[in-house]
Structure 1
Amino acid sequence: MKKAVFLIILFTGLFSCSKDNDDANHELPFPLPTELIYFPSNGSTTWEVKSISELGWNENELQPLYDYLQLKNTKSFIILHNGKIVVEKYFGTHTASSPWYWASAGKTLTTAVAGIAEQEGLININNKVSDYLGYGWTAAPLAKENLITCKNLLSMNSGLDDSLGDDVSPTNLQYVADAGTRWAYHNVYVKMQDVIAQASGQTWDAYFNTKLKDKIGMTGAWTQVGDLSVYGSTTRSMARFGLMIYAKGKWHSTQIVNENYLNAATNTSQSINQSYGFMWWLNGKSSFHLPQTQYQFNGSLIPNAPSDMYAALGKNDQKIYIVPSQKLVIIRMGDAADAETFGLSDFDNALWDKINALTN
């Protein structure tokens, strides 16, 4: 009883400031509570929603957004605001339980798991790849191979030839430039999965499932497609991953991926492509490079998108957009909006025009 009376007196005193104190910009000794990030439960299909009207968005722009998404071969689309579903739409025969491939948007899964392996002390991304895989994992001379670190794989600046296709057997990994001196979009990033498997003493799938997939309640699996290992899942599972990244590596009260590592992953990782982190594409930078070219494009990656937006982009327009300033995680799955593309396309900018009309 005494404790209750004390608390009443304390809060009465805090919130009954005089006009003089208000004029002096008196600050409370603790911040007022803000809306917490919502996380869906693992193993449950329940996901809390938030209405467009509650957010003050322009509901008249929702149907035009749907019409555009359908026109552009979309299968599913989700917008989360601080974790809660505001928009969720499926097109054609695609449903909430239908799996679809992430394509290169799934590269960021490898990024996240590399961060987990590093925080567990299994790897150090600044170490050379040959520390884990041994000599001869490329066809480069030993001195050049030993320049390639795990961070180079994550940053796409290994210096290996990106023109030889997706095959990552040693004979197909040819030296072009010293690691760190040339940015090129290259499937050699999958060697990070081999590094993690070797360092953990587990298969890549087993480590991934235990340390990431199961922890955040994702569904899905890795499938071998030619020389590529491609992840596929439901749209909500992709949204779970995007939400964990938006929450700075947390899921409920558990830190899944180290926040400092994710900060590095979602900021410029090297000096050549300003718009690339650890397999995350970054908006709002002064220039960018694209796959299969060494040309530097000036300007922002997606001009219509918020400058702090970062994205996982996959072939045929698989998208995870994360916008911290607006508390948004946005997912798009489907076939190519227009022509086939490696990830970024004109569709991104046009889609953001429609999203802005809804949210602003």
Structure 2
Amino acid sequence: MRRLIKRIGLVLLFLIIVICIAGVVNYPKLTILTGYSAKHMNSSVFIGERSVEFTDTEDNNFAPVHLADDEVNFEQKMSIASVFGLQERKAVYRKGVGSVLINDDFDENAPVVAPNRSKANTGLSYPYGDLPQKDTVFANLDYPKIKEAVHSIFDSNGEYVKKTRAVLVIYKDQIVAEKYIDGLDQTSKLPGWSMTKSILATAYGVLQKQGEISIHDKAPVEEWQNDERKEITIDDLLQMNCGLEWEEDYGSISDATKMLYLDTDMTKAQIDKDAIAKPGEYWYYSSGVSNLLSGILRKKMNSYQEYLDFPYREFIDKIGMNSMLIETDIAGNYVGSSYAWATARDWGKFGLLYLHKGNWNGTQIFNPEWVDYVTTPTPTSEGDYGAHFWLNAGGFYPDAPKDMFSANGYQGQRVFVIPSKELVIVRFGLIGDAGVDFNTFLQEITEAVQ
């Protein structure tokens, strides 16, 4: 009997040791997990204007984020997340600049500087104004085929696999298909995640048109001036071909997750990384590069207010993307890698701006050559990437046109621009290529344009 008790005791001790080791190993991950949950809950409620229940059951209902418990204080506009009471993280909403994870040093009473916004009343229909579009029927479109393609990318019959939330199809400036899940509609603001990178790149396109920069300028990073990194150009950063070390992994504690859920100033995350290749030799996707570019953009401005105003004044509000909001970090930098929200229709306007090579109803926002630049394949990317835009030049989607390019975001957010078909296709969801057959979806829609 004593032997049995001893053996049981040893087994229990072993299990306790295993559990403790697992806890020590995984405990640091909890701060990332609760950070994600608190931040996205706050943004969804106070920017997306959705309920806590909707966010819990839709946005944050995936492993392991679903383990977090969230509370929302509407008076303080604060969300709090923890897992079994551990690693509590807080996020607060600030009008005009969005939600941010806070730390013990955060001053909740400090004044918030917000961008100046404008909204023009053009008296025109979408996309150049807010009036309803006139009924237009294109003889060369197979409308039933488009409708079926759109229907097929949404879940049906109780499935929850494709997780599509919104689709918008625009042909020759006309909305020819539009569909949303229950609970969302054309006024719902949706997170673009890494589609924000393409918004950031557009700010550089405007600067280039204004003669304020050349993409071939050396990156003005003081920390790089005494080593080989001083040769890195703005072009190298936009093409993510700078040769700097970086780990972009959202399933672990990586450079990307530490930056987004731990850093106070996200523009610095990439600066201290070593060069592991010469510029132009090694393409690697890096959200750190995008936030570094956001920091460089800030330094180009004469004041912080000018930095905040610049993207809205120069193109976002100018093309009527009035629902868009780009969030900042604690240090006040636009999180150019990840945090822009807007309606599907406003994201569609962004695609149309590029379809029309920077011309918006007669106003040239950036030079036509900028589109040629961002759609030129980055060396070593195998035709998949340009300058903060994804490409189909390498045939990633084999049955879609090769001239297609897109703004892509986490969980399958997409703005596809297809010049040869005069199409812009917007898709929002909670899963990407792993669960959605984008190739067939794109093939069916493009084949419907005869």
Please report the TM-score for the alignment, with normalisation by the length of structure 1.
0.75
Select which of 386, 390, 399 maps to 1:277: 386
| 1:118–1:69 Cα change, 3 Å | same
Q: Deviations over 1:66-110 (max 9, x none)?
A: 143235211111111111111111112111111111111221111
Select which of 187, 190, 194 maps to 1:104: 194
Q: Deviations over 1:215-263 (max 9, x none)?
A: 1010211125797551010011100110011001010010001111221
Q: Deviations over 1:128-158 (max 9, x none)?
A: 112xxx411xxx6732220111111110111
The answer to whether residue 233 in structure 2 is matched with residue 149 in structure 1 is yes
Partner of residue 7, structure 1 = none
Partner of residue 6, structure 1 = none
- Maintained 8 Å contact 1:117/1:196: no
Question: Quick one: higher RCO (CA 8 Å, sep 6+), 1 or 2?
Answer: 1
Select which of 221, 227, 231 maps to 2:325: 221
- Maintained 8 Å contact 1:77/1:90: yes
What is the correspondence of 1:1-360 to structure 2 with a 5 Å cutoff?
A: 40=126, 44-48=130-134, 50-51=136-137, 54-59=139-144, 62-63=147-148, 65-71=150-156, 72-130=162-220, 134-136=221-223, 142-163=226-247, 164-166=254-256, 167=259, 168-169=268-269, 172-187=272-287, 188-203=289-304, 204-218=307-321, 219-224=323-328, 229-285=338-394, 300-337=395-432, 347-356=437-446, 358-359=448-449
Q: Deviations over 1:304-325 (max 9, x none)?
A: 2112111111110101111111
Which residue identity is paired with 2:147?
A: L
| 1:327–1:43 Cα change, 3 Å | closer
Which residue identity is paired with 1:157?
A: N
| 1:121–1:39 Cα change, 3 Å | farther
| 1:141–1:121 Cα change, 3 Å | closer
| 1:179–1:242 Cα change, 3 Å | same
CA distance in 1, matches of 2:303, 2:398: 42
Partner of residue 62, structure 2 = none
| 1:145–1:45 Cα change, 3 Å | farther
Q: SS of the residue aligned with 1:70?
A: coil
CA distance in 1, matches of 2:371, 2:390: 13
Q: SS of the residue aligned with 2:402?
A: coil
- Maintained 8 Å contact 1:197/1:207: no
CA distance in 1, matches of 2:171, 2:427: 15
| 1:262–1:49 Cα change, 3 Å | farther
Deviation larger for 220-229 or 314-323: 220-229
CA distance in 1, matches of 2:297, 2:194: 19
Partner of residue 294, structure 1 = none
Runs of 5+ consecutive residues of structure 2 not aligned to the other structure = 1-123, 157-161, 248-253, 260-267
- Maintained 8 Å contact 1:58/1:357: no
CA distance in 1, matches of 2:291, 2:424: 26
Which residue identity is paired with 2:324?
A: G
**Two-structure CA RMSD over aligned residues (Å):** 2.6
Partner of residue 263, structure 2 = none
Q: SS of the residue aligned with 1:54?
A: coil
| 1:157–1:81 Cα change, 3 Å | same
Please report the TM-score for the alignment, with normalisation by the length of structure 2.
0.61
What's the CA shift for 1:198? 1.4
- Maintained 8 Å contact 1:49/1:85: no
What's the CA shift for 1:190? 2.0
CA distance in 2, matches of 1:207, 1:326: 32
Aligned length: 297
Q: SS of the residue aligned with 2:227?
A: helix
Q: SS of the residue aligned with 2:241?
A: coil
CA distance in 1, matches of 2:240, 2:308: 23
Q: SS of the residue aligned with 1:59?
A: helix
| 1:49–1:334 Cα change, 3 Å | farther
What's the CA shift for 1:357? 5.7
- Maintained 8 Å contact 2:197/2:388: yes
Deviation larger for 221-230 or 153-162: 221-230
